[in-house]
């Protein structure tokens, strides 16, 4: 499978994402924000970084790029799309995902290894987190849960969701969500930084394969 990686001015995790995609035996394809041809890719990743320097607010300008217009169409046709950190912000701004991302509680940039409960399976993942505007907000988190749209929650090593395990004040400790159809997803933590044991965790491999292909690779 060929996986498109969207690049904006200010994107900084595109090569890390390509590295991770190769680790799960998929082919990365770089896509420039100013183009509008997806080059026949099977899925799209909008990676982390600071698109357009996060001017106005994170993701607010990137959503208007020609390539994002094509991604919106691709998602509407059932194509798999994954937004990571800044990519999550872009997908929310584009209306592909519910909610919004705001400044962290405490107004500080957070960089740490984070436990996450993968809601569909209950599995606990260990994946790095790094963001300054990662606080997920939504008027009806219970409705998202009832619809099966909560993908990940911040938790402890045992999978328990507690106030002290919520690093940025996200409502319901939500770290990632999907659209109603389930083909578009976004998360603030960085699974592309958790694909090699030298990086401290390989949990990102299973997550990325599941979201981009539809099934997890073996641990």
Where in the sequence numbering do the catalytic residues fall?
Answer: 85, 190, 192
Tell me the C-alpha distance between 203 and 75, whole Å: 26
- The CA distance from 14 to 4, in Å, is 10
| Matching residue, tokens 């680790």 | 23
3-state secondary structure at position 113: strand
The first and second tokens of residue 65, run together, are 């790029």
Q: Which H or E element spans position 74? A: helix 66-76
Cα–Cα distance measured from residue 97 to residue 92, given in angstroms and rounded to the nearest whole number:
5
| 154 vs 189: CA distance, rounded Å | 10
């Amino acid at each position: 499978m060929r996986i498109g990686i969207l690049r904006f001015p200010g994107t900084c995790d595109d090569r890390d994402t390509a590295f991770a995609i190769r680790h799960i035996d998929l082919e990365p394809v770089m896509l420039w924000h100013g183009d509008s041809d997806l080059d026949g890719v099977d899925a799209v990743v909008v990676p982390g970084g600071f698109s357009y320097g996060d001017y106005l607010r994170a993701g607010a300008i990137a959503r208007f790029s020609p390539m994002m217009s094509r991604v919106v169409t691709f998602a509407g046709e059932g194509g798999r799309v994954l937004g990571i950190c800044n990519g999550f912000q872009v997908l929310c701004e584009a209306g592909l995902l519910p909610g919004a991302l705001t400044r962290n509680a405490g107004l500080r940039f957070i960089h740490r290894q984070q436990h996450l409960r993968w809601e569909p399976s209950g599995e606990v993942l260990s994946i790095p987190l790094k963001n300054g505007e990662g606080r997920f907000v939504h008027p009806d988190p219970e409705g998202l849960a009832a619809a099966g749209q909560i993908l990940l929650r911040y938790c402890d090593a045992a999978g328990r969701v507690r106030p002290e395990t919520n690093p940025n004040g996200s409502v319901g400790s939500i770290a990632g969500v999907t659209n109603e159809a389930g083909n578009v997803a976004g998360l603030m933590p960085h699974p592309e930084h958790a694909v090699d044991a030298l990086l401290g965790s390989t949990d990102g491999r299973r997550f990325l394969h599941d979201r981009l292909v539809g099934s997890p690779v073996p641990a």
